[in-house]
Amino acid sequence: MKELLPFLKILRIHNALIAAIAVSVGFWLSGSTIGGLMLVMLMLATIAATGFGNVINDIQDIESDRISHPDRPLPKGDISIRSAKFFSVILILISLGCGFTVSITHGIATLVPLVLLTLYALFLKGTPLTGNVVVALLVAYSILYGALTAPEFYRVIYPALFAFLLNIAREIAKDIQDEAGDRASGVITTAILPHQLLRTIIYCISLIYTVLLFVPFINKTFGLPYLALCSATVLPLHLYRTILIASGNWKQRLARISMFFKIEMLCGLAAIALDRVL
């Protein structure tokens, strides 16, 4: 069992499980009819794909991780690079195998995150904003992935869009928060761009998000429970977070701002779930 622990650690199982939960949310919201066993297969495909992304990132980042993350399995020596590469191939096979078990459509759809993660790790990592967009796309895609071929697929379009917008802004904030450590280890992130520009981008995303937040109620995709809970929780949190970003010492408050992004996403999910139940 001890031999498996480094592989679970490099997999970042908690992140992979969050992605799998997003798949189950899309499955439930869309009223998918493919069955519980097939949902398990989709969740396993997602866990394996997410793990693959983490493994190839750690392989690419091994030198910088020796400085910024020395306790990770590769720089620590718990896993060899050769073993990590072999493990990444196994994860690809598991992901595709589970996806194609569900259907050809789901199998082809499983290729999308695998290709995105590979392109990011090998070619796009040092490009400002690209990593933020890729991460946000993958979060949104997990919701859509769980709803593929479902009769009410349209119900997950807005949740996926909201997840995309919130995660781009949150990833930018995290990059600014981690700037000192990344710069010391030679890692290029979005934080190399002028911070005032990045704050403006976050403002623009927030404005788009605010405008879109109530569109699902207006076009009757969601009903009164969604409107009530969004008005009572999501909107106040969103406005408070925007005020924090507008403050003069906003860089010192980035940890709190990042936390409010998470809370806001959870409240938005609760509003959609409540609407679905009622």
Q: Is the pLDDT of residue 221 over 70?
A: yes
- Which segments of the chain are extended strands (E)? none
Q: Is the pLDDT of residue 208 over 90?
A: yes
Q: Is the pLDDT of residue 182 over 80?
A: no
Q: Is the pLDDT of residue 205 over 70?
A: yes
Mean pLDDT of 46-60: 94
Mean pLDDT of 181-204: 85
Distance CA 254, CA 245 (A): 8
Mean pLDDT of 6-32: 91
Mean pLDDT of 73-89: 94
Distance CA 32, CA 20 (A): 16
Residue 17 has a CB neighbour count (10 Å cut-off) of 14
- Which domains are present in the chain? 5-277 (1.10.600)
| Burial of 80 (C-beta count, 10 Å sphere; 0-12/13-18/19+) | exposed
Structure tokens at 44: 């396993």
Nearest Cα residue to 271 out of 214, 218, 219 = 214
Structure tokens at 51: 């793990």
Q: What is the pLDDT of residue 249?
A: 86
Q: Residue written as tokens 């650690």?
A: 9
Distance CA 125, CA 136 (A): 14
Mean pLDDT of 45-53: 96
| Burial of 122 (C-beta count, 10 Å sphere; 0-12/13-18/19+) | exposed
pTM of the model: 0.89
Q: Is the pLDDT of residue 1 over 60?
A: no
Mean pLDDT, the chain, integer: 90
Best-predicted range by mean pLDDT (9-13, 146-150, 202-206, 235-239): 146-150
Distance CA 98, CA 118 (A): 19
Q: Is the pLDDT of residue 180 over 80?
A: no
